[in-house]
Amino acid sequence: MSSFNVLITEVACPDCEKRHEARIQFKFGNTWQLQYKIGDKVTWGGNDIGIPNLNEVNAYGIIESTKCPYCNKQDIVEEYDILIKNDVIMGISPMASMENYLGENGEYFVVT
Ligand SMILES: [Zn+2]
């Protein structure tokens, strides 16, 4: 079984526009079912994926459920870019392009 970390953050539903707390899986840093929130610093020294202290990197994030708990539609965005600067998780945005991840190991790409 492969391990991942989880970013817990709010996402908005495109249908009812309500926000709810979601779990977004990603693999960067010590990858061992660790839970993070926006503003947390990624830790290293274990099952490491990636390189510490990169200036700016995007990690590939995938949400655990696309179902909105309010309206029950399944339109929540599934894939995200998780922006990480100097190991601090800055925020998420809907994935711009899967192609960005093809040049690395599929889990992250270096922005600068
Ligand atoms: Zn909804």
Residue type, 107: E
Q: What spacing in Å lies between the alpha carbon of 74 and ligand 1's midpoint?
A: 8
CA distance readout (Å), 3 to 7, 18, 42:
14, 30, 15
Tell me how crowded residue 5 is: count the other CB atoms within 10 A of its CB.
Answer: 25
Q: Mean pLDDT of residues grouped by 10 in the chain (112 residues)?
A: 90 97 98 97 96 96 98 97 98 94 86 86
- Identify the CA nearest to 27 among candidates 44, 50, 43: 50
Q: What spacing in Å lies between the alpha carbon of 12 and ligand 1's midpoint?
A: 8
- Quote the pLDDT of residue 112: 81
Residue 3 in tokens: 């391990």
Q: What spacing in Å lies between the alpha carbon of 101 and ligand 1's midpoint?
A: 29
- Quote the pLDDT of residue 66: 98
Helix ranges (H only) for the chain are none
Q: What spacing in Å lies between the alpha carbon of 10 and ligand 1's midpoint?
A: 13
